[in-house]
Structure formats: C-alpha cells, structure tokens
C-alpha cells in the first residue's frame, strides 16, 4: 500500500503561530526586533530544553544536564507576515542561529 502525504499550503491571510527557537543568549535581540514591528505583534517567550543535539555541540554543563537551554518565541500573526518578521530579524542579526516553524492557528480566544 502506498501512502500519500498532502502538504498543506496556508493561504496568505490565514492565522498562524510562528515559533522561533534560539539560544537564550539571543533572546533580548530578537525581542527588540519584534517590539519594533509595525503593526505591533502578540508574542510569548518560553524557556525550553533542547534534546538530541550531537555531543560535540554541547558545553560540558549541557552534557551533564543532558539538554541545551533554548528559548522559544511564539508569535501569533497572519501567514503573509512571517517572512517579513524573519527577514527583519535576519537583517538585524545576520549571524544568529534561529530555527523556525510555522503552524496553522485554527482557533483562539479567551475562556
């Protein structure tokens, strides 16, 4: 049996959550970039523990702990603004090492 995977292509006007995963040392610079965006963005900053890195990339402290301390910035926005946000960060921080993922936001609100 052959399985087919269909890649979803969000429309430009759909709501998404952009995750930026970066070293904790770079969070202040990224936050400064995001605060400068117009219109202003809603975002959260969360500490995360990164597992699965090759041992040679980890400091001795990280090797003992078993994980790498990272930060994830979660940004709620329209899909078309993701590239603009990432381009602005790359322009301000050309040597930064930031991973990203874009996830559809089906619903949000407040209870």
Residues 3-38 have pLDDT tens digits of 665 555 655 568 899 999 999 999 999 999 999 998
Burial class (CB in 10 A: 0-12, 13-18, 19+), 64: exposed
* Chain CA centroid to CA 96, Å: 13
Structural contact between residues 70 and 50, judged by C-beta atoms closer than 8 angstroms: yes
Q: pTM of the prediction?
A: 0.79
List pLDDT tens digits, range 25-80: 999 999 999 999 988 899 999 999 877 777 677 778 777 777 788 999 999 999 99
Q: Looking at residue 5, what is its pLDDT?
A: 56
CB atoms within 10 A of CB 77: 20
Q: Looking at residue 101, what is its pLDDT?
A: 95
Secondary structure letter of residue 6 according to DSSP: P
CB atoms within 10 A of CB 111: 2
Q: Which domains does the chain have, with CATH numbers?
A: 15-104 (3.30.70.120)
């Amino acid at each position: 049996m052959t399985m087919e995977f269909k890649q979803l292509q969000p429309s430009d006007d759909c709501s998404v959550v952009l995750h930026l995963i970066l070293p904790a040392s770079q969070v202040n610079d990224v936050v400064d970039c995001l605060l400068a965006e117009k219109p202003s963005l809603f975002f959260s900053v969360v500490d995360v523990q990164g597992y699965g890195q090759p041992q040679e990339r980890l400091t001795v402290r990280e090797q003992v702990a078993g994980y790498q301390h990272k930060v994830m910035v979660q940004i709620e926005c329209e899909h078309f603004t993701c590239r603009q946000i990432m381009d602005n960060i790359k322009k301000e921080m050309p040597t930064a090492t930031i991973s990203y993922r874009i996830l559809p936001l089906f619903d949000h609100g407040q209870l």
